[in-house]
Amino acid sequence: MSVSKTRGMLIAIMLIMVFSLAGFSFAVSAETETETESDSGRTEKIPVKVLILPKFEVGELSGDFSGEAQFYFEHYLDGAEEYEIPYTSEGCSLYIKDGVAMCLIGMGKVRAALNTAAVLSDSRFDFSDAYILSTGCAGSAVETSVMGDVFVITAAVDYDLGHHADSREMEDDSSPTWFHDSSYDSSAVVELNPQLMDRVYSLVEDLSLKTTEQTRNFMAHSYKGAEWAVRDPKVQRGTTVTADNYWKGQYGHENAKLIVQTYQCPDPYATTEMEDVAVCQAVKHMGLLDRLIILRDSVNMDGFMSGATPESLWDPEYENIGLTDENSVEAADIFETAMENNFVVGSTIIDAILQGDF
Protein backbone atom coordinates (compact mmCIF):
# COMPACT_ATOMS: atom_id res chain seq x y z
CA MET A 1 0.00 0.00 0.00
CA SER A 2 1.33 3.42 -0.86
CA VAL A 3 2.28 5.96 1.78
CA SER A 4 -0.36 8.36 0.52
CA LYS A 5 -3.09 5.77 0.83
CA THR A 6 -1.97 4.81 4.33
CA ARG A 7 -1.90 8.45 5.37
CA GLY A 8 -5.44 8.92 3.97
CA MET A 9 -6.80 5.96 5.90
CA LEU A 10 -5.23 7.22 9.15
CA ILE A 11 -6.76 10.66 8.62
CA ALA A 12 -10.17 9.08 7.97
CA ILE A 13 -9.94 6.93 11.12
CA MET A 14 -8.92 9.97 13.18
CA LEU A 15 -11.84 12.00 11.80
CA ILE A 16 -14.25 9.21 12.65
CA MET A 17 -12.85 9.06 16.20
CA VAL A 18 -13.08 12.85 16.57
CA PHE A 19 -16.68 12.95 15.40
CA SER A 20 -17.53 9.96 17.58
CA LEU A 21 -15.99 11.58 20.64
CA ALA A 22 -17.69 14.86 19.78
CA GLY A 23 -20.99 13.08 19.49
CA PHE A 24 -20.41 11.34 22.82
CA SER A 25 -19.39 14.62 24.40
CA PHE A 26 -22.47 16.32 22.97
CA ALA A 27 -24.71 13.54 24.30
CA VAL A 28 -23.16 13.75 27.76
CA SER A 29 -23.34 17.52 27.67
CA ALA A 30 -26.96 17.44 26.56
CA GLU A 31 -27.84 14.89 29.23
CA THR A 32 -26.07 16.95 31.90
CA GLU A 33 -27.73 20.11 30.66
CA THR A 34 -31.11 18.40 30.79
CA GLU A 35 -30.50 17.24 34.36
CA THR A 36 -29.39 20.72 35.37
CA GLU A 37 -32.43 22.27 33.80
CA SER A 38 -34.58 19.67 35.54
CA ASP A 39 -32.89 20.39 38.86
CA SER A 40 -33.12 24.16 38.49
CA GLY A 41 -36.67 23.96 37.17
CA ARG A 42 -37.89 21.65 39.88
CA THR A 43 -40.52 23.40 41.99
CA GLU A 44 -39.60 23.63 45.64
CA LYS A 45 -42.32 22.60 48.07
CA ILE A 46 -44.11 25.59 49.55
CA PRO A 47 -43.43 25.67 53.30
CA VAL A 48 -46.38 26.17 55.63
CA LYS A 49 -45.95 27.33 59.22
CA VAL A 50 -49.62 27.41 60.21
CA LEU A 51 -52.53 25.60 58.54
CA ILE A 52 -55.95 26.94 59.57
CA LEU A 53 -58.90 24.57 59.09
CA PRO A 54 -62.30 26.24 59.50
CA LYS A 55 -65.30 24.22 58.35
CA PHE A 56 -67.58 26.74 56.61
CA GLU A 57 -68.10 30.40 55.84
CA VAL A 58 -71.27 32.47 55.80
CA GLY A 59 -71.36 34.18 52.40
CA GLU A 60 -68.01 35.51 51.17
CA LEU A 61 -64.55 35.11 52.68
CA SER A 62 -64.26 38.85 53.14
CA GLY A 63 -66.39 41.92 53.66
CA ASP A 64 -69.71 40.56 54.94
CA PHE A 65 -71.12 38.63 57.92
CA SER A 66 -68.34 36.53 59.41
CA GLY A 67 -68.47 32.76 59.63
CA GLU A 68 -65.63 30.54 60.82
CA ALA A 69 -63.04 31.70 58.29
CA GLN A 70 -63.53 35.39 57.57
CA PHE A 71 -61.62 37.06 60.41
CA TYR A 72 -58.64 34.77 59.76
CA PHE A 73 -58.78 35.29 56.00
CA GLU A 74 -58.96 39.08 56.20
CA HIS A 75 -56.10 39.31 58.69
CA TYR A 76 -53.65 36.72 57.32
CA LEU A 77 -54.66 35.78 53.80
CA ASP A 78 -55.97 38.82 51.95
CA GLY A 79 -54.36 38.64 48.51
CA ALA A 80 -53.16 35.07 49.08
CA GLU A 81 -52.41 32.58 46.33
CA GLU A 82 -55.25 30.10 45.82
CA TYR A 83 -54.59 26.45 44.97
CA GLU A 84 -57.17 23.85 44.00
CA ILE A 85 -56.71 20.62 45.93
CA PRO A 86 -57.41 17.45 43.91
CA TYR A 87 -59.96 14.92 45.17
CA THR A 88 -61.70 17.31 47.54
CA SER A 89 -65.24 18.61 47.73
CA GLU A 90 -66.28 21.83 46.03
CA GLY A 91 -64.95 24.97 47.67
CA CYS A 92 -62.00 23.23 49.31
CA SER A 93 -59.23 25.48 47.97
CA LEU A 94 -56.01 26.16 49.84
CA TYR A 95 -55.00 29.79 50.36
CA ILE A 96 -51.36 30.54 51.23
CA LYS A 97 -49.56 33.74 52.14
CA ASP A 98 -46.38 34.33 54.15
CA GLY A 99 -46.34 30.84 55.65
CA VAL A 100 -50.00 30.86 56.69
CA ALA A 101 -52.43 28.58 54.86
CA MET A 102 -56.17 28.08 55.18
CA CYS A 103 -58.67 25.60 53.77
CA LEU A 104 -62.41 25.29 54.41
CA ILE A 105 -62.67 21.54 54.88
CA GLY A 106 -66.46 21.25 55.03
CA MET A 107 -69.00 20.00 57.54
CA GLY A 108 -69.43 16.45 58.81
CA LYS A 109 -66.93 13.80 59.81
CA VAL A 110 -66.46 12.11 56.44
CA ARG A 111 -65.98 15.28 54.41
CA ALA A 112 -63.71 16.90 57.00
CA ALA A 113 -61.48 13.84 57.28
CA LEU A 114 -61.15 13.29 53.52
CA ASN A 115 -60.46 16.94 52.76
CA THR A 116 -57.94 17.26 55.60
CA ALA A 117 -56.07 14.19 54.38
CA ALA A 118 -56.11 15.47 50.79
CA VAL A 119 -54.64 18.83 51.81
CA LEU A 120 -51.91 17.33 53.98
CA SER A 121 -50.89 14.80 51.34
CA ASP A 122 -50.61 17.34 48.49
CA SER A 123 -46.97 17.11 47.33
CA ARG A 124 -46.80 20.82 46.44
CA PHE A 125 -46.76 21.87 50.07
CA ASP A 126 -44.45 21.18 53.00
CA PHE A 127 -46.41 20.71 56.23
CA SER A 128 -43.61 18.93 58.11
CA ASP A 129 -43.04 21.89 60.45
CA ALA A 130 -46.58 23.27 60.39
CA TYR A 131 -48.91 23.71 63.31
CA ILE A 132 -52.48 22.84 62.40
CA LEU A 133 -55.32 24.92 63.85
CA SER A 134 -58.75 23.31 63.53
CA THR A 135 -61.23 26.02 64.36
CA GLY A 136 -64.98 26.56 64.37
CA CYS A 137 -68.18 27.09 66.28
CA ALA A 138 -69.94 24.61 68.54
CA GLY A 139 -72.70 24.00 70.99
CA SER A 140 -71.47 23.92 74.57
CA ALA A 141 -72.39 22.23 77.81
CA VAL A 142 -75.12 23.63 80.02
CA GLU A 143 -73.96 24.72 83.49
CA THR A 144 -70.26 24.94 82.58
CA SER A 145 -70.27 27.38 79.66
CA VAL A 146 -71.91 30.46 78.21
CA MET A 147 -72.30 31.45 74.60
CA GLY A 148 -69.18 33.32 73.52
CA ASP A 149 -66.76 31.09 75.44
CA VAL A 150 -63.74 29.81 73.52
CA PHE A 151 -62.34 26.36 74.29
CA VAL A 152 -58.84 24.99 73.92
CA ILE A 153 -59.73 21.38 73.15
CA THR A 154 -57.52 18.76 74.80
CA ALA A 155 -59.29 15.64 73.51
CA ALA A 156 -61.92 14.71 70.94
CA VAL A 157 -64.35 11.80 71.25
CA ASP A 158 -66.82 10.23 68.84
CA TYR A 159 -70.43 10.48 70.01
CA ASP A 160 -71.62 7.87 67.51
CA LEU A 161 -69.25 4.96 68.17
CA GLY A 162 -70.80 2.66 70.74
CA HIS A 163 -74.48 1.81 71.06
CA HIS A 164 -77.37 4.26 71.28
CA ALA A 165 -80.89 3.47 72.48
CA ASP A 166 -84.17 5.36 72.35
CA SER A 167 -85.09 6.56 75.83
CA ARG A 168 -88.66 5.38 75.29
CA GLU A 169 -87.40 1.81 75.21
CA MET A 170 -85.21 2.04 78.33
CA GLU A 171 -86.22 0.37 81.60
CA ASP A 172 -85.27 3.60 83.33
CA ASP A 173 -86.12 6.45 80.99
CA SER A 174 -83.91 8.85 82.99
CA SER A 175 -80.71 6.88 82.28
CA PRO A 176 -78.12 7.79 79.65
CA THR A 177 -78.91 6.15 76.34
CA TRP A 178 -75.30 5.47 75.23
CA PHE A 179 -73.54 2.18 75.93
CA HIS A 180 -69.79 1.75 75.73
CA ASP A 181 -68.26 -0.76 73.30
CA SER A 182 -64.52 -1.16 73.93
CA SER A 183 -63.92 -2.54 70.43
CA TYR A 184 -64.24 1.05 69.15
CA ASP A 185 -61.84 2.60 71.65
CA SER A 186 -58.91 3.03 69.27
CA SER A 187 -61.08 5.10 66.92
CA ALA A 188 -63.43 6.77 69.36
CA VAL A 189 -61.05 9.01 71.30
CA VAL A 190 -57.98 11.09 70.44
CA GLU A 191 -55.98 13.03 73.01
CA LEU A 192 -53.95 16.00 71.83
CA ASN A 193 -50.35 16.73 72.78
CA PRO A 194 -50.62 17.65 76.49
CA GLN A 195 -47.45 19.77 76.55
CA LEU A 196 -48.64 21.76 73.55
CA MET A 197 -52.11 22.20 75.06
CA ASP A 198 -50.58 23.48 78.30
CA ARG A 199 -48.45 25.93 76.33
CA VAL A 200 -51.40 27.13 74.26
CA TYR A 201 -53.72 27.53 77.24
CA SER A 202 -51.13 29.45 79.28
CA LEU A 203 -50.81 31.85 76.36
CA VAL A 204 -54.54 32.60 76.01
CA GLU A 205 -56.28 31.85 79.30
CA ASP A 206 -56.45 35.48 80.43
CA LEU A 207 -57.59 37.03 77.15
CA SER A 208 -60.66 39.24 77.37
CA LEU A 209 -63.68 38.03 75.36
CA LYS A 210 -66.89 39.80 74.38
CA THR A 211 -70.59 39.15 74.66
CA THR A 212 -73.69 41.15 73.72
CA GLU A 213 -76.41 42.56 75.93
CA GLN A 214 -79.04 40.65 73.98
CA THR A 215 -77.17 37.38 74.52
CA ARG A 216 -76.72 38.04 78.22
CA ASN A 217 -80.45 38.75 78.60
CA PHE A 218 -81.27 35.71 76.49
CA MET A 219 -79.19 33.44 78.73
CA ALA A 220 -80.72 34.96 81.86
CA HIS A 221 -84.21 34.34 80.49
CA SER A 222 -83.42 30.77 79.43
CA TYR A 223 -81.75 29.77 82.70
CA LYS A 224 -83.58 31.85 85.27
CA GLY A 225 -81.64 32.51 88.47
CA ALA A 226 -78.52 30.64 87.31
CA GLU A 227 -75.38 32.65 88.06
CA TRP A 228 -73.29 30.58 85.66
CA ALA A 229 -75.51 31.64 82.75
CA VAL A 230 -74.81 35.38 82.95
CA ARG A 231 -71.05 35.57 83.47
CA ASP A 232 -68.73 37.07 80.87
CA PRO A 233 -67.29 34.66 78.26
CA LYS A 234 -63.83 33.27 78.93
CA VAL A 235 -61.24 30.87 77.55
CA GLN A 236 -61.56 27.34 78.91
CA ARG A 237 -60.06 23.89 78.40
CA GLY A 238 -62.30 20.97 77.57
CA THR A 239 -63.12 17.86 75.59
CA THR A 240 -65.15 18.09 72.40
CA VAL A 241 -67.76 15.50 71.43
CA THR A 242 -68.09 14.94 67.68
CA ALA A 243 -71.40 13.68 66.30
CA ASP A 244 -72.73 12.99 62.83
CA ASN A 245 -76.05 14.52 63.85
CA TYR A 246 -77.02 17.84 65.40
CA TRP A 247 -78.44 16.96 68.79
CA LYS A 248 -79.77 18.83 71.82
CA GLY A 249 -81.36 18.01 75.14
CA GLN A 250 -80.81 16.35 78.49
CA TYR A 251 -80.33 12.81 77.16
CA GLY A 252 -77.63 13.95 74.75
CA HIS A 253 -76.00 16.03 77.48
CA GLU A 254 -75.84 13.06 79.85
CA ASN A 255 -74.54 10.83 77.05
CA ALA A 256 -71.79 13.33 76.24
CA LYS A 257 -70.69 13.55 79.87
CA LEU A 258 -70.69 9.75 80.19
CA ILE A 259 -68.70 9.27 76.97
CA VAL A 260 -66.00 11.71 78.10
CA GLN A 261 -65.82 10.13 81.55
CA THR A 262 -65.68 6.61 80.10
CA TYR A 263 -62.71 7.47 77.92
CA GLN A 264 -61.01 9.21 80.87
CA CYS A 265 -60.31 12.38 78.94
CA PRO A 266 -58.05 14.94 80.61
CA ASP A 267 -60.75 17.64 80.75
CA PRO A 268 -64.56 17.54 81.09
CA TYR A 269 -67.10 17.58 78.29
CA ALA A 270 -67.24 21.12 76.91
CA THR A 271 -68.45 21.31 73.31
CA THR A 272 -70.30 19.35 70.67
CA GLU A 273 -69.64 19.66 66.94
CA MET A 274 -69.46 17.52 63.79
CA GLU A 275 -65.82 17.28 62.65
CA ASP A 276 -62.96 17.31 65.11
CA VAL A 277 -62.52 13.65 66.04
CA ALA A 278 -62.32 12.97 62.29
CA VAL A 279 -59.83 15.80 61.75
CA CYS A 280 -57.77 14.30 64.58
CA GLN A 281 -57.74 10.89 62.92
CA ALA A 282 -56.70 12.36 59.54
CA VAL A 283 -53.93 14.44 61.10
CA LYS A 284 -52.79 11.47 63.17
CA HIS A 285 -52.61 9.33 60.03
CA MET A 286 -50.30 11.93 58.47
CA GLY A 287 -48.01 11.86 61.52
CA LEU A 288 -48.79 15.43 62.63
CA LEU A 289 -51.03 14.91 65.66
CA ASP A 290 -48.47 16.39 68.07
CA ARG A 291 -48.82 19.72 66.23
CA LEU A 292 -52.63 19.90 66.17
CA ILE A 293 -54.50 22.65 68.06
CA ILE A 294 -58.31 22.80 68.23
CA LEU A 295 -60.31 25.93 69.11
CA ARG A 296 -64.09 25.92 69.39
CA ASP A 297 -66.29 28.88 70.27
CA SER A 298 -69.79 28.47 71.70
CA VAL A 299 -72.63 29.88 69.60
CA ASN A 300 -75.41 27.93 71.29
CA MET A 301 -76.05 25.53 74.18
CA ASP A 302 -76.63 21.79 74.20
CA GLY A 303 -79.99 22.33 75.91
CA PHE A 304 -83.21 23.79 74.53
CA MET A 305 -83.63 27.49 75.26
CA SER A 306 -86.53 29.95 75.38
CA GLY A 307 -89.20 27.32 74.91
CA ALA A 308 -87.66 25.73 71.81
CA THR A 309 -88.52 22.12 71.01
CA PRO A 310 -87.05 19.64 68.50
CA GLU A 311 -90.02 20.23 66.24
CA SER A 312 -89.78 24.01 66.39
CA LEU A 313 -86.07 23.89 65.56
CA TRP A 314 -85.89 21.19 62.93
CA ASP A 315 -89.32 20.19 61.59
CA PRO A 316 -89.65 21.64 58.06
CA GLU A 317 -93.32 22.42 58.77
CA TYR A 318 -92.13 25.12 61.17
CA GLU A 319 -90.49 28.39 60.14
CA ASN A 320 -86.92 27.68 61.16
CA ILE A 321 -84.38 30.40 61.89
CA GLY A 322 -80.63 29.70 61.71
CA LEU A 323 -77.93 30.38 64.28
CA THR A 324 -76.75 33.48 62.41
CA ASP A 325 -80.12 35.25 62.78
CA GLU A 326 -80.40 37.61 65.75
CA ASN A 327 -83.94 36.34 66.36
CA SER A 328 -82.70 32.77 66.80
CA VAL A 329 -84.06 30.92 69.83
CA GLU A 330 -80.73 29.09 69.97
CA ALA A 331 -78.07 31.77 69.62
CA ALA A 332 -79.55 35.26 70.11
CA ASP A 333 -77.06 37.61 68.38
CA ILE A 334 -73.84 35.98 69.62
CA PHE A 335 -72.70 34.25 66.41
CA GLU A 336 -70.41 36.89 64.91
CA THR A 337 -69.20 38.02 68.34
CA ALA A 338 -68.25 34.42 69.14
CA MET A 339 -66.36 34.24 65.84
CA GLU A 340 -64.48 37.38 66.84
CA ASN A 341 -63.66 35.82 70.23
CA ASN A 342 -62.33 32.76 68.44
CA PHE A 343 -60.12 34.98 66.29
CA VAL A 344 -58.79 36.87 69.32
CA VAL A 345 -57.64 33.55 70.78
CA GLY A 346 -56.54 31.98 67.50
CA SER A 347 -54.57 34.98 66.26
CA THR A 348 -52.69 35.13 69.56
CA ILE A 349 -51.61 31.53 69.01
CA ILE A 350 -50.79 32.03 65.32
CA ASP A 351 -48.72 35.15 65.98
CA ALA A 352 -46.73 33.30 68.64
CA ILE A 353 -46.04 30.47 66.18
CA LEU A 354 -44.94 32.86 63.44
CA GLN A 355 -42.64 34.63 65.90
CA GLY A 356 -40.99 31.29 66.76
CA ASP A 357 -42.31 31.12 70.31
CA PHE A 358 -43.48 27.51 69.92
Asked if the model's pLDDT at residue 9 lies above 70, the reply is no
Residues 74 and 4 in one domain: no
Query: pLDDT class for 174, splitting at 50, 70, 90?
Result: confident
Q: What is the pLDDT of residues 115-154, one digit of tens each?
A: 999 999 999 999 999 999 999 999 999 999 999 999 999 9
Query: pLDDT class for 320, splitting at 50, 70, 90?
Result: confident
Prediction pTM value? 0.87
According to the model, what pLDDT value does residue 41 have?
Answer: 60
What is the dihedral angle through the alpha carbons of 70, 235, 328, 309, rounded to the nearest 10 degrees? 130
Residues 70 and 34 in one domain: no
Residues 28 and 134 in one domain: no
Residues 109 and 219 in one domain: yes
Asked if the model's pLDDT at residue 11 lies above 70, the reply is no
Q: What's the structural domain count of the chain?
A: 2
According to the model, what pLDDT value does residue 327 have?
Answer: 85
Q: What does the DSSP assignment read for 294-329?
A: EEEEEEEESS--TT--HHHHH-TTS----TTSTTBT
Asked if the model's pLDDT at residue 71 lies above 80, the reply is yes
Domain, as residue range, for 139? 49-354
Distance separating alpha carbons of residues 30 and 33, to the nearest angstrom: 5
Residues 87 and 202 in one domain: yes
Residues 129 and 231 in one domain: yes
Q: At what angle do helices 335-354 and 194-204 cross, to 10 degrees?
A: 110
Distance separating alpha carbons of residues 275 and 322, to the nearest angstrom: 19
Residues 6 and 92 in one domain: no
Residues 27 and 154 in one domain: no
Residues 145 and 17 in one domain: no
Residues 330 and 252 in one domain: yes
According to the model, what pLDDT value does residue 182 have?
Answer: 97
Query: pLDDT class for 175, splitting at 50, 70, 90?
Result: confident
Residues 63 and 198 in one domain: yes
Task: Give the gyration radius of the chain's Cα atoms.
Answer: 29
Distance separating alpha carbons of residues 169 and 63, to the nearest angstrom: 50
CATH number for the domain spanning 330: value is 3.40.50.1580
Residues 127 and 94 in one domain: yes
